[in-house]
Structure formats: C-alpha cells, structure tokens
Amino acid sequence: MRKLVRGIWMAAVFVAPLAVAGQNPSSQETAAARSKDGKKLFGTAEALRVARVSSPRISPDGARVAYLVADNVMDQEKDTAWKSVTQLWVVPTAGPATAARQFTRGEKSVSNLEWSPDGKLLAFTMDAGDEKDAKPEVWFMYADGGEPWQVTKHKSGVRGFQFSPDGKTLLLTATVPLSDEQEKRTKQKDDAVVVDHDFKMGQLWTWSIATNEEKQLTKGDFTVSDARWSPDGSRVTLTTNPTPRLDDMSLQTSWVLDVASGKQRKVVETADATQMARWSPDGKWIAYLSSSGLVVYKVNLFVVDSSGGAARKLSGSFELNAGEPVWSRDGKTIYFSSDDHEAMKIFAVDVAAGTARPLTDAATVVNLSEISANGQSAVGTWGDSTHPDEVFRSDLGFGSLERITSQNAWLADYALGSSEVVRWKSSKDGMEIDGIVTKPVEFDGTHKVPFLLNPHGGPTGASLLSFSATEQIMAANGYMVLQPNFRGSTGRGEKFEAANQNDWGNGDFKDDMSGVQAMVDKGWADPDRLGAFGWSYGGYMTMWIDTQTDRFKAISPGAGLPDLYSMYSETDIHRYLTVFFNAKAPWDNYQEYWDHSPMKFVGNVKTPTMILHGQADTRVPIPQAEEFYRALYERKVPVEYVTYPRENHGFVEPRHIQDRWQRYLVFFGKYLNNPPVTESKAVVERFGKDLP
C-alpha cells in the first residue's frame, strides 16, 4: 500500500491489495491485455491476486521465520462472496523462497502471530465458536505443523497476547465479559447505546497454559493495549488510553506493572503522550516514543531506567518521526523504521551517543520487525514500486537485504509501470515539493499521455515508493499518475508536517496544481486529458479542486469531506480536526471552517464528477458525500454517485474494491478519451451505463 498514515486520521485510498484463491484471473483477461513485448497487462483481476505479506516472526533458534499472508478466497461450490483470509506460513531464515510452506488453512483468518519461547509451538488468534457468536481466542499448533488447537476460552474473546519468558503463561489483552444480566438484555435486543458511556475497556489478564486459569491484572477507568513482559517475567509494560475512542488515541500513557503486587507506575512522569514502551534485553532500560502535541508533532525516541527516573531523549537532532523501537541484543543500539520523503528506511540510534543514521536506501519501503535471539539477523518486510512486500532477512548492517519469500512470483509475467520521485516548486511560495510519478507501461517520453492526479489521505500521510495496485492498473491502461506529497505530509520533519494548519485548500492545493503543471511542462501529461481522484483527505482535496478550477476533464472524490462544520460533529476524530483550525470547534471558529469547505464554493463546479463512499464510514460519514452530490445533482452538473454497503472508511470486500477500480477506468476512460484495455467488454458496457 503506497499511503502511509500516522496517528488516527483517515485511511488510505485502498486497503492493501489482496490475493485471489479459487479464481482464475486469466478468465477475465481481454485479448488486448498485453504489452508490445508480449507481457501481460495488470488489470483489476490481477490486482486481486496480489498477496499481502505481513508480521514476520523469527524463531527463538533463528532457523525459521513465520509470517502471515492474506488472500482473497471464494467458495466456488456455494458461490459465496469473496473475502480476505489470512493464513500462517513458515520459511527457513536462510531461504530459499521455494521452501516456504503454508501452515494453516480454512475459512478463518489468523492474526497476532508468536513463537513460544522454546520454539516448539506457534501461537495466534483465530475465531472460535459458532459463526454468529464467534470470538477470537488463542490457538496453538506444533512448530512442525499439524492441526491447531484452541487454548484460551476467555468469554469476551482475546484482542492480543504474549508468552511469558518461561513459556508457562499468556498475557492477554481482552475486555471484561458481560454479566449474565447484560447478556440477557443483549439477546433480547434491549441494547440501547448511551453515547460516550459504557465503553468496552481492554484490560490485562494472565492465562495459565497448564491449568487454563485466568487472572485479571488491571482494573481501571482506561483501556489497555500493547502489553509486553519484562525479560525476567516480573513486570509488564502497557499503554492506556482514557477510552477506546479513536479520538483519544493521542492521549496515550505508558506504564510499568509489577505482576506480583499489581502496582502500576508511569514509565516516566510527563504530561506528554507516551507509547510503544520496549524493554532492553537485560531489562534495565525501557525505550519509548513520545510527542508533545496531537498527531502532527514530532515523535521522539526516549530511554529511561526501568526502575524509574529521568528520561533521556535519543532523537533530539533527528528531524523525522521515530518508529517502534527494536533493541539490539547488546543493548547498545536501537533500530526503528520511519518514512523519509518517499522511502521507508531503517535507522539505527546509538544509545550512548544519541545519534541516528539511516541504514537502507531511498528507493524502497523497509519495515523492521525483529532481531534474532543471537543478535546476528533481522527480519521484516521489504517492497518497492514493482514488488509487493515480501519477508527479508539481513545482518544488522542492512547493506544487503535478502528476500526469503516470493508470494507474488507470478508478477514476473506482467509489464508494470515504473515509478520515480519528481520535484517541483510550489506556486504558493516557491517551496520545493516532491511526489511520485508512475508512468504508463512502455512510456518513452516522446508523446503526451492521459494524466491523473492522486492526492493521498491524511493529511498527515505520505505516498511512498511501495507497490500500488491502483497505480499499476492505471499504468497498464495508459495513464500517468502523480501522487504529490504536499505540505502537511510526513517524511520531511515537523515544520513541513505542520505547514497546512489553518491552510487546507490553499498551500496544499497550489502544491498539487504546481505538480500537475510540472508534468505538463515536461511534455509528459496531456493538458487536454487531465483527471483527478483521491480518498479521504484526497477526497477532500479533489472536492476542493472541483470547486476551484475547470482544468480537469473528470474528477472522482472518494470518502471526501466537503463541509468541515458538519464533519466535526459527524466524524470519530473531532480532536484531530481541531489541530488544523486553531484548536477550536467550528461553533467557536465558524468562518475558518467554512472558508476551507468545498461546499462554500460548490456553485463553481462544472466538471463531470463521480463520488464514491462507503455506507458504514465512521471516519467521514456518508452525509458528507450526500451534501456534495445533492448540490451537483440539483445544479445539473454531470455527476455519478456510488455507495458501497457495509464498507467503512477503508474497503475490505474484494468485489467492492474491484468495482471501484473498474469504475475509475470506465469513468476516466470516457472523459479522458482513453478506453480501458485490461477489462472485458461486458465490464466496460456495464459501468458505462451509469456514467453521467
């Protein structure tokens, strides 16, 4: 997935592309879906084949890596809907990728993957019980394979877990089960919800593997996450939030809990948010992340004595945001991944000196997961613009990463568009802006091509040089796509990230339009065939563009927010929205919110527009789309409005994901005079009937 979003703001344009099992994508190919050199072109059916690789975990002896792979599956006998299913795979740490083996099967997804401390077991969470009442529980299976068996039977299900260092106890994160009276009322549908009351708080429990006895460790007016045992098993770090509301995610506090006494204390005494507390291998130190403001302020790395005391900042001169700390086995270095412009890099911080340095290059997206027990190897995921994420292993120099999985080897048969970083000056103030341009397959620069602007979600996000199914679909169909990292994006430091406060639709809009002009000036983008699409904040930006310029022939906002006054009360992240508008609610700052709302200028819209929105969206609720659609419809602007049942802010149902891609191709194909080449005639005719 090419969009990176920090904090709690809006999801990316698409959930990471998934893979298809039980379906022959070639059956959907068209005769013309090949490049000049005979390679296949990447269409929407192929995009659904792409497997998502995640969560690599190295075994205690360092010999094997367990990881998760998400695929799309469909029961062809029952002809049921496609759904994403995540399975467990294992590969030798030394490879080769052909030695990888799938360990779990079936219709249920697994998550929260862990090895037992002795390496004899693999553990994960998976639903247990009847489908209607199924809840995630912890399951074990032997490390050599076989059938998994259910271990925990926590009445309300398990959110997360970790083995104790001696392997005898599980630390569970779970909610307090409903009382008998509460269960009775629920079954009777006596279930009225009092907003901002009766939250389902996560708490900590221990579960004895030998006796199946559980004990609640935390009780309080807070919700718990990210619990970690100390190396000697006597203490636990955990993070609390006042409520489970997404809006309170930035109010995190890290704690140390003494397991025997139950006493808790803060990891460090500070009013700032603290999170991701990680024990040093000897248990003497705790590394953690902290920021002094809400979301758009720099995330710093600190270390503190595990017994308490003053913390020491390790990232003082480091301009970017620190990521999850990973200790070296000798405790002298802390590693983390962070976005740097269009790359995701691994950085190393010298604990004694407090200096950070990058270890990976600028053209890839690398996420570090773990370091082996012997301190010699690291594993994580690694991808770039033409390779979806795969598991890598490396020594701690990270000078030569080795892919040890190849879940998407079939992509070698396809012609893919190349991506590169481009830079230009903004018309607002001359600030240098960068972004990613993905070129059409076989683009040679000798002729102008249809062009699409694709602003990212966020706005505190970034477009990265990772594999993007959306951009590859567009490249296969002859489009050039620009993804600008406009002011407000991550990866360039705190000042740049905060540069869009009180400025939505001004500086970022000019950054984007300057990027469009730069592509025209290069002789790449056809100025008579320009389009734009975006999701979330990208939806806002394309709605804003719709109201500010007639330069585009077609625009498709998705999950956009055109009315910031009403958006504030409708969204689930009210506090975050105020960050950009003088830390005030709209009733105390009406003019600012209204001046930056596309609805204020909706009378200017003339461009054919296709609005897309999930019906169950809680981040940007669907009334936002309704407002924009109604205004365009009644003003006789050519408009198509498509809603997707059951979908929240990030789509998860494969048919809906494919529908969205296909509608883009048909919509822009009409208005940019560029008919789709990867989709069947039936698909083009079907979606063409809906066009305005």
Q: Average pLDDT per run of 10 along the chain, which is 692 residues long?
A: 42 37 41 81 95 97 97 69 90 94 94 97 94 90 95 93 97 88 84 85 94 94 95 96 88 94 94 95 96 77 95 92 96 96 95 94 92 95 96 95 96 96 97 97 94 95 95 98 96 92 95 98 98 98 98 98 97 92 95 97 98 97 98 98 97 94 98 96 94 91
Question: Would residue 517 count as lying in a domain?
Answer: yes
pLDDT of residue 79: 57
Question: Would residue 128 count as lying in a domain?
Answer: no
Question: Would residue 11 count as lying in a domain?
Answer: no
21 to each of 27, 85, 640, how far by Cα in Å?
14, 10, 32
Rounded to 5°, the CA angle 326-332-337 comes to 30
Question: Would residue 308 count as lying in a domain?
Answer: no
The number of distinct structural domains making up the chain is: 1
472: which 2 tokens? 């590859």
CA distance linking residue 19 with residue 406, whole number of Å: 13
Extended beta strands in 559-629, E state:
609-614
Q: What are phi and psi of 586, to 5 degrees?
A: -65, -30
Question: Would residue 400 count as lying in a domain?
Answer: no
Extended beta strands in 59-168, E state:
64-73, 83-92, 101-102, 110-115, 121-128, 135-142, 149-150, 160-163
pLDDT of residue 32: 54
pLDDT of residue 14: 37
**What is the extent of the structural domain holding 441?**
412-688
pLDDT of residue 36: 87
589: which 2 tokens? 């700052």
Q: Are 445 and 524 in contact (CB under 8 A)?
A: yes
Q: What is the pTM of this model?
A: 0.93
670 to each of 19, 30, 108, 552, 663, how far by Cα in Å?
29, 19, 41, 13, 11
Question: Would residue 533 count as lying in a domain?
Answer: yes
Q: What are phi and psi of 278, to 5 degrees?
A: -130, 130
Strand, helix or coil at 364?
Answer: coil
Question: Would residue 145 count as lying in a domain?
Answer: no
pLDDT of residue 74: 72
Q: Are 611 and 641 in contact (CB under 8 A)?
A: yes
CATH number of the domain at 569, please: 3.40.50.1820
Which helix (H) or strand (E) segment is 530 a member of? strand 525-535
Question: Would residue 452 count as lying in a domain?
Answer: yes
CA distance linking residue 605 with residue 177, whole number of Å: 52
pLDDT of residue 466: 95
Q: Are 85 and 70 in contact (CB under 8 A)?
A: yes
In the block, residue with structure tokens 């090895």: 115
592: which 2 tokens? 């600012």
